[in-house]
Amino acid sequence: MYHYITKSIRRLKSRSILVILVNCVLAVLLNLYFGLIDSYRTQLTDLAANTPIRCTITNPDGTREVGIAVKSDILRDLQAAQQIKELDCSTQLKAGFGEFEIARWEENLNLDVSVVNRIDSSALPDHIRVNYQEGWDESLFAGSEKVCLLKKSDMEEQGFSYGDEIPFTVYHYVYIDERRDVDILELGYMNLKVVGQIDDSDSVESHEYPDMLVPFQTIWDAFDERGVDFTAEAVSFYVRDPLALNAFKAEMEQIGGNGLLEVYKGEGARFSYKGSALYVQDGIFITMAGRLKTALRILTAFLIPMGILVFIIGYVISHLLVNGRVKEFALFRSLGVKQSGAVWVFWSEQLVLVLAGNVLGCLTALLIGQVGLQDILTVCGAAFGGYMLGTTVALLWLAGNRPLELLASE
Amino acid sequence: MSRIIEAEKVSYIYQTKYQKTKALSEVSCSFERGKVYAITGKSGSGKSTFLSLLAGLDVPTEGTLYVDGEDMKEMDRDAYRMNRASVIYQAFHLFPLLTVQENVMFPMELQHVPQKEAEARAKEHLAKVGLPDTLYKKMPNMISGGEQQRVAIARAMAAGGEILLADEPTGNLDSQNERVIVDLLCKLAHEENYAVIIVTHNEAVAAAADVVYGMWDGTLTVVRE
Ligand SMILES: Nc1ncnc2c1ncn2[C@@H]1O[C@H](COP(=O)(O)OP(=O)(O)OP(=O)(O)O)[C@@H](O)[C@H]1O
Ligand SMILES: [Mg+2]
């Protein structure tokens, strides 16, 4: 029987080559298909990683320049939020060295203070250069220590050095009347330790620099101690997982009790109510991801038809080949070979050819080099299974006939 | 004399999707070892059908066939075909992918006869039916009808067994080769105790048989005993 298989493969050369080729092409095509799906998936995750979605808190009418006062309950919820990252909160204060009376603010209140929770805050100029006292670094901005950074020139002028505890009088802004007009109120005195300096020796850029940097939480705590309502002037952050925008939006609806209800997309901002709104810059991501997702959906929709196709190809080709070999099958039966034995001969003959085709297909796919080995093996396994299933069905159909009928059919 | 096959009111109906054809009706007869039987009759009278049933390719629609007293329906007919009964088909039925010699060796391969012995037996029988050894390595479609017929005869004889069924074995042969084959078949019965059953139109072949049956529209009658 084994000899019969090898002989028939050799003596029906063109048919054997056809079966090998069909299976090879099938394996390569399936590999390309799954490779494509794979590459779209990777593109989508890459897109999510490389196209961060930035969110900015705005006035309810979408403007961001002035008038933003983000309440502390919103801030607290944002700090605890799961779906966001790189929260960037800041506010601006006025301060002066030492203690002085309100009446004398004009000559004393000359320090612009930036209150930030990170040194790369969007409230600070891009190229700002800072130095820290030994033992301190930029992580201090995330904390609540009573520390500050001063301009290098001011430190030299005033004769301060690192580690000095310096008294300040601090004032804060308050929006009144439709939240457009600004008033300035005294917050009080506080001592802050100098642990770093803003390098303003480069005179070109330094005029944009604030005079002083203080950690965000430090100031928030100071407001709370004095029973004054604290608000932030600028808040922005990124969506943690752009592929989970729905979870993100659901969370944003819970922020600060009422939620950041108005989620602005694009430029069409509109006034809604007094409070805070969220401007989500997801336009680019949604467009690009949308295209990828559509392509992926179409591709994966073809999964089942592809499986059926492979089966049908296996069935049709096997059926055609089997039809040409009814006589041999009948002869096997007439010479006393059992039904299962006769099926086995033709089945294993196909098996050898299909395997050879698949191995060739795998090698080709490997050479093309788009898909990993494990994926290739899975895909070829599927192609192989589908084709052999077709073969099996075709052979079982043949075996269902009685030997006498088979012998007569010519 | 030992009886090997007995047919008891054997009927056979070909049933296709569209029609039924009654090919045999209530055929009763028996066959003994060591004898040559001829079955004659018009074309379409049911001779090949009867032979196929004797070969165990199918079972009667009605009635019973006994082999050594055992009902063929209950028998392992695959084993019967492989080891006991050999058939020479009207249409030769050689394997198209095997050479002449491989065709003759194939049934022996199924019976697990050692390769060397199978080869020797194949060559011996091919020589007996008068085929020159230049043909042994040829494919069946490269030789003449008469040559193919003799390959089929050699295959059936080399396979061994107790029963040889031949459907028009001399239909494609000249009278000289016909004599050789008829002598071979008679020897098989008389010297090796086979039951040889030959379907034939040929008077000379029928004359060489020990018993002659006539087939008429699916019924069997004794012509000469
Ligand atoms: N496979 C088949 N399907 C349907 N009917 C068949 C089949 N084979 C034979 N028959 C019918 O059965 C009857 C007997 O056929 P069979 O082949 O046994 O005749 P035969 O005596 O061998 O004829 P010939 O001398 O021409 O070989 C015929 O009427 C034939 O048409
Ligand atoms: Mg016939």
SS (H, E, C) chain B: CCEEEEEEEEEEEEECCCCEEEEEEEEEEEEECCCEEEEEECCCCCHHHHHHHHCCCCCCCEEEEEECCEEHHHCCHHHHHHHCEEEEECCECCCCCCCHHHHHHHHHHHCCCCHHHHHHHHHHHHHHCCCCHHHCCCCHHHCCHHHHHHHHHHHHHHCCCCEEEEECCCCCCCHHHHHHHHHHHHHHHHHHCCEEEEECCCHHHHHHCCEEEEEECCEEEEEEC
pLDDT of residue B118: 94
In a domain, A292, yes or no: no
- The 8-class DSSP code of residue A243 comes to G
In a domain, A290, yes or no: no
First to last CA, chain B: 14
Q: Which residue has the higher pLDDT, A261 or A141?
A: A141
Identify the burial level of A268 via C-beta atoms within 10 angstroms of its C-beta, where 0-12 means exposed, 13-18 middle and 19 or more buried.
exposed
d(CA A76, CA B213): 110
Please give, rounded to a whole number of angstroms, the shortest distance from the CA of A1 to a CA of chain B: 8
Beta-bridged to residue B8, according to DSSP, are B64
Chain B residues close to A402, C-beta within 8 Å: 57-58
Q: Do A40 and A59 lie in a common domain?
A: no
d(CA A93, CA A114): 7
Work out which ligand 1 atom sits closest to the CA atom of A409: 1
pLDDT of A275 over the 80 cut: no
Is the CB of residue B44 below 6 angstroms from any atom belonging to ligand 1?
yes
**Ligand closest in space to the Cα of B27:** 1
- Cβ proximity of A336 and B75 under 8 Å: no
Of all residues in chain B, the one with the smallest CA distance to A410 is B91
Q: Which of A236, A202, A215 is nearest to A138 (CA)?
A: A215
Which of A1, A16, A328, A334 should one mutate to test binding to chain B, selecting the residue with the greatest count of B CBs within 10 A?
Answer: A334
pLDDT of B162 over the 90 cut: yes
**Ligand closest in space to the Cα of A330:** 1
- Cβ proximity of B48 and B167 under 8 Å: yes
Mutational pocket test of ligand 1: of B14, B22, B27, B39, the residue with most ligand atoms within 8 Å of the beta carbon: B14
Q: Do A386 and A316 lie in a common domain?
A: yes
List all residues 6 or more positions away from B53 whose beta carbon is below 8 Å from its beta carbon.
B10, B12, B24, B59, B60, B65
pLDDT of residue A266: 43
pLDDT of residue A263: 46
- Cβ proximity of B220 and B214 under 8 Å: yes
- Nearest CB neighbour to B97, from listed A12, A338, A403: A12
**Ligand closest in space to the Cα of B200:** 1
pLDDT of residue B220: 93
Work out which ligand 1 atom sits closest to the CA atom of B215: 21
A317-359 tens-digit pLDDT = 878 887 888 889 999 999 999 989 999 998 999 899 989 998 9
Is the CB of residue B46 below 6 angstroms from any atom belonging to ligand 1?
yes
pLDDT of B4 over the 60 cut: yes
Q: Where do the H-state alpha helices sit in A203-278?
A: 203-206, 216-225, 245-252
Tokens read off for A253 = 């609806």
* Neighbouring C-alpha atoms within 13 Å toward the C-beta of B134: 2
Q: How many CB atoms lie within 10 A of CB A134?
A: 7
Last residue of a domain, one of A281, A315, A332: A281
Is the CB of residue B14 below 6 angstroms from any atom belonging to ligand 1?
yes
Phi/psi of residue B215, nearest 5 degrees = -105, 130
pLDDT of residue A399: 87
Q: Do A174 and A87 lie in a common domain?
A: yes
Identify the burial level of B185 via C-beta atoms within 10 angstroms of its C-beta, where 0-12 means exposed, 13-18 middle and 19 or more buried.
buried
| Residue matched to tokens 């030994």 | A134
Work out which ligand 1 atom sits closest to the CA atom of B47: 21
Q: How many CB atoms lie within 10 A of CB A286?
A: 16
Residue B49 CA to ligand 1 centre (angstroms): 6
pLDDT of A110 over the 80 cut: yes
Mean pLDDT confidence for A118-128:
88
d(CA B205, CA A209): 123
List all residues 6 or more positions away from A139 whose beta carbon is below 8 Å from its beta carbon.
none
Is the CB of residue A304 below 6 angstroms from any atom belonging to ligand 1?
no
pLDDT of residue A180: 61
B21-59 tens-digit pLDDT = 999 999 999 999 999 999 999 999 999 999 999 999 999
Q: How many CB atoms lie within 10 A of CB B17?
A: 4
Tokens read off for A30 = 């399936």
In a domain, A286, yes or no: no
Chain B residues close to A327, C-beta within 8 Å: 93, 96
Q: Which of A261-275, A351-365, B68-82, B188-202 has the lowest mean pLDDT?
A: A261-275
Helices A339-368 and A303-323 meet at what angle, rounded to 10?
Answer: 130
Q: Do A36 and A83 lie in a common domain?
A: no
- Cβ proximity of A277 and A264 under 8 Å: yes
Tokens read off for B42 = 């018009």
Q: Do A28 and A106 lie in a common domain?
A: no
CA dihedral of residues A133, A135, A138, A142 (deg, nearest 10): -120
Nearest CA to ligand 1 atom 16: B46
pLDDT of residue A86: 92
Last residue of a domain, one of A281, A313, A334: A281
Q: Which residue has the higher pLDDT, A263 or A28?
A: A28
Beta-bridged to residue A167, according to DSSP, are A191
Q: Do A213 and A359 lie in a common domain?
A: no
pLDDT of B15 over the 50 cut: yes
Beta-bridged to residue A150, according to DSSP, are A197, A212
Please give, rounded to a whole number of angstroms, the shortest distance from the CA of A6 to a CA of chain B: 11
Q: Do A262 and A138 lie in a common domain?
A: yes
Nearest CA to ligand 1 atom 26: B43
Please give, rounded to a whole number of angstroms, the shortest distance from the CA of B82 to a CA of chain A: 4
- The 8-class DSSP code of residue A395 comes to H
Q: Which of A247-251, B2-6, B137-141, B211-215 has the lowest mean pLDDT?
A: A247-251
Q: Do A173 and A65 lie in a common domain?
A: yes
Q: Do A172 and A210 lie in a common domain?
A: yes
pLDDT of B154 over the 90 cut: yes
For chain B, the average pLDDT equals 92
Mean pLDDT confidence for A367-393:
80
- Cβ proximity of A73 and A256 under 8 Å: yes
- Pairing label, strands B195-199, B36-41: parallel
Q: Do A183 and A138 lie in a common domain?
A: yes
CA dihedral of residues A305, A308, A314, A317 (deg, nearest 10): -70
Of all residues in chain B, the one with the smallest CA distance to A328 is B95
pLDDT of residue B99: 94
In a domain, A293, yes or no: no
Please give, rounded to a whole number of angstroms, the shortest distance from the CA of B225 to a CA of chain A: 30
In a domain, A294, yes or no: no
Chain A residues close to B98, C-beta within 8 Å: 4, 7
Give the environment of ion ligand 2: residues with CB less than 5 A: B 48, 90
Of all residues in chain B, the one with the smallest CA distance to A8 is B97
Q: Which of B124, B113, B123, B8 is nearest to B65 (CA)?
A: B8
Nearest CA to ligand 1 atom 24: B43
**Ligand closest in space to the Cα of A401:** 1
| Residue matched to tokens 């090698």 | A363
List all residues 6 or more positions away from A351 whose beta carbon is below 8 Å from its beta carbon.
A388, A391
Whether chain B has a CB inside 8 Å of the CB on A327: the answer is yes
pLDDT of residue A179: 54
Number of domains in chain A: 2
DSSP A120-181: T-TTS-TT--EEE-TT--GGGGGS--SEEEEEHHHHHHHT--TT-EEEEEEEEEEEEHHHHE
Beta-bridged to residue B32, according to DSSP, are B3
Last residue of a domain, one of A281, A311, A345: A281
Q: Do A114 and A192 lie in a common domain?
A: yes
Of all residues in chain B, the one with the smallest CA distance to A340 is B78
pLDDT-based confidence at A99, cuts 50/70/90? Answer: confident
A203: left (phi over 0), alpha (psi -120 to 50) or beta: alpha
In a domain, A349, yes or no: yes
Phi/psi of residue A401, nearest 5 degrees = -80, 150
pLDDT of residue A177: 57
pTM, two decimal places: 0.69
List all residues 6 or more positions away from A367 whose beta carbon is below 8 Å from its beta carbon.
none
pLDDT of residue A193: 94
In a domain, A370, yes or no: yes
Which of B67, B98, B119 should one mutate to test binding to chain A, selecting the residue with the greatest count of A CBs within 10 A?
Answer: B98
Q: Do A25 and A95 lie in a common domain?
A: no
Whether chain A has a CB inside 8 Å of the CB on B52: the answer is yes
| Cβ separation A336–B97 shorter than 8 A | no
Q: Which of residues 331-350 of A touch B (CB under 8 A)?
A: 331, 333-338
Nearest CA to ligand 1 atom 19: B44
Q: Which residue has the higher pLDDT, B126 or A65?
A: B126
- Nearest CB neighbour to A331, from listed B78, B80, B93: B93
ipTM above 0.90, yes or no: yes
pLDDT-based confidence at A268, cuts 50/70/90? Answer: very low
Please give, rounded to a whole number of angstroms, the shortest distance from the CA of B141 to a CA of chain A: 13
In a domain, A270, yes or no: yes
Which range of residues forms the domain containing residue A172? 54-281
- Nearest CB neighbour to A404, from listed B58, B96, B106: B58
Whether chain B has a CB inside 8 Å of the CB on A3: the answer is yes
A143-188 tens-digit pLDDT = 999 999 999 988 998 899 999 999 999 998 887 655 566 778 888 8
